[in-house]
Chain A
């Protein structure tokens, strides 16, 4: 007897919608980009209104600024490495990738703190207010993404996620990529456009 599948036994029709976690990540990313865009708009409005910008004597350490951007870009690859590893159930590689990504994120936080300590701009100046507002906001986004990725990494270490169920990891990494893109653009505009000192 030939085993014929009856209509009732057929799988349900595919859902015509994206995963809710990915949607949430993309919406959060859109809002984050608009927030940073708004702050950048105010930064450039202040820049346009100022007679001297940046203030004389102020220098942004170029090596540190370059390292911040390069480190962020590298973290995008390691974050994606974690997703790829989980999709083939290579959990050891996934843990390493998560760990490296978080270390790179921490290095960026450290790099930005170093830049802040070196430029010597007071908050209570036009330049300082605009510069710190943009960079602090971006740093908050980065730390938020690091916390999210750490939670995802711990859940993976506790046994969550299968090769077919990596939506949360993909969503977290999608947001991470967005933060990397934000940092790349912001880093170029507020570090290199202002003239770094090499």
Chain B
């Protein structure tokens, strides 16, 4: 073997770096299977997440029907428990987080002026690991797995597949975060980072530190179940991910999408951009709930964090509403989704604040289910749908018509509210979480019917979103910048060309570079017109 002891100097021959060239990817299925392009990977994440959303949504709707009346016995106790955990794991690990990851994988490189995501092969590996892990996770439930599963091997499979999904999530986050931190355009310091990218840095960074904690818990549970003969895996190693305060962390990137949309749609900028960034950062930091994975060590901290999280959520809502008050806008669907997301996130934080106050005795009741639904189904999922509407022209080259958005918003918003409000009342009455047949003297059947209606409407809303995206093939091509955007992704084609930008991105001097460029051009024109 020959070893080079002096590196051949080749740089002198090319004093200026060559423009990056992009080899076209193979067409058809091979191209999708071997892709390293962030745009394709992002779309794969989004589409797969939406498929899993249907599974999680249907499971949730069936659960809400089963809970209507103690006499209604559609499901056995074991099946109810399995469906309950299937709904939770699918909704969060297979839909919400992957959907955010898909949007981030697509949008963040464009927002920071990068030609691709950092470590594209890692990003592709993450997607395929996620798709495989998600499919195996669902299969494990069919085989009798899940936390309370009856088949030991299927329970092991559930643990391994959920760990694989979270490893995939971590790898994808690593890629997106490295892009946001290491591939920013010249001049784009963190203060000039678009607020969606900022929310991905905050939420994704902290999630990258909590996902391994979950994986560690799953590994330990697997060892205990497989080698020590623990009868079931238990829901404990996973449940903290949905609880207070970690639910806020999951919602942070979706809140960032809402924060990105509102000022552009209202044709204003935030009066205090730093405050918006600070509110998102505070929500993320307070949502860092890894400590709740260790049972018995966290009660005081959880109470403090649960109450404190109300402040950044309300500050965020205040900033968004201030932008609406000052702005001029039309009622575009993404704006309405973003506003609904911000309001429901704040409502979820307030509900969570009450949940941790011990004298109210709401811990362990359906009040917490309402909190999860308001925060994750309301705040986060509506934020994700807002992002899909907002960036659809960039992602698919077609805009989703507003009327379709209004229908989706009506279904999803009504679904979230009808699903959550009965659980708040039942929580006040003391109904425990995860119980199919709660016997009480109080007439709770009407509340159950309302919640079941909400579950059904939510599923219909999710199907309507998917139908809209499928129908995009027939739409008119969207212009490059249909919204009058402020950030770099709107300066390129819809969808962007290979390499994303036709030329080098100029140095960034503002948090709203396109707005700054437009203002500069206006000033120049005014100067020329002046006598």
Give B448 Cβ to nearest chain A Cβ, in Å.
Answer: 38
- Within 8 Å CB of A92, what residues of B? 5
Task: Tell me if B186 and A159 are in contact (CB < 8 A).
Answer: no
Complex-state Cα separation, A124 to B225, whole angstroms = 10
Tally of chain A residues near chain B (CB < 8 A): 45
Instruction: Give chain A's interface residues, CB within 8 Å of chain B.
Output: 12-13, 15-24, 27-28, 30-32, 34-39, 41-42, 45, 89, 91-92, 95, 123-126, 129-130, 132-133, 137, 157-162
- Within 8 Å CB of A32, what residues of B? 212
Task: Tell me if B228 and A126 are in contact (CB < 8 A).
Answer: yes
Task: Tell me if B216 and A89 are in contact (CB < 8 A).
Answer: no
With an 8 A cutoff between CB atoms, is B523 at the interface? no
With an 8 A cutoff between CB atoms, is B189 at the interface? yes
Contact indicator per residue, chain B 448-479, by CB within 8 Å of chain A (1) or not (0): 00000000000000000000000000000000
Binds A, one of B203-211, B310-318, B434-442, B481-489: B203-211
Name, among B178, B188, B211, the residue most crowded by chain A CB atoms within 10 Å (CB to CB): B178
Give A147 Cβ to nearest chain B Cβ, in Å.
Answer: 15
Give B382 Cβ to nearest chain A Cβ, in Å.
Answer: 29
Name, among A24, A36, A137, the residue most crowded by chain B CB atoms within 10 Å (CB to CB): A24
Give A18 Cβ to nearest chain B Cβ, in Å.
Answer: 6
* Contact A12/B186 with A27-B177, A89-B6, A129-B224 known, Cβ cut-off 8 Å: yes
Grouping DSSP codes into helix (H, G, I), strand (E, B) and loop, the B interface class, with mixed when no group exceeds half, is: helix
Task: Tell me if A27 and B293 are in contact (CB < 8 A).
Answer: no
Give B335 Cβ to nearest chain A Cβ, in Å.
Answer: 32
Give A31 Cβ to nearest chain B Cβ, in Å.
Answer: 5
Task: Tell me if B209 and A30 are in contact (CB < 8 A).
Answer: yes
Tally of chain B residues near chain A (CB < 8 A): 47
Complex-state Cα separation, A18 to B205, whole angstroms = 16
* 23 contacts across the A-B interface (CB closer than 8 A): A12-B507, A20-B118, A20-B179, A20-B181, A20-B183, A21-B182, A23-B118, A23-B181, A27-B178, A31-B208, A31-B211, A34-B213, A35-B212, A35-B215, A35-B216, A38-B220, A39-B219, A41-B293, A123-B227, A124-B228, A133-B223, A137-B219, A157-B4
- Within 8 Å CB of A37, what residues of B? 213, 216
Task: Tell me if B210 and A34 are in contact (CB < 8 A).
Answer: yes
Task: Tell me if A15 and B3 are in contact (CB < 8 A).
Answer: no
Question: From B217, which residue of chain A is reached at the shortest CB distance?
Answer: A38
With an 8 A cutoff between CB atoms, is B119 at the interface? yes
* Contact A24/B118 with A18-B181, A129-B224 known, Cβ cut-off 8 Å: yes
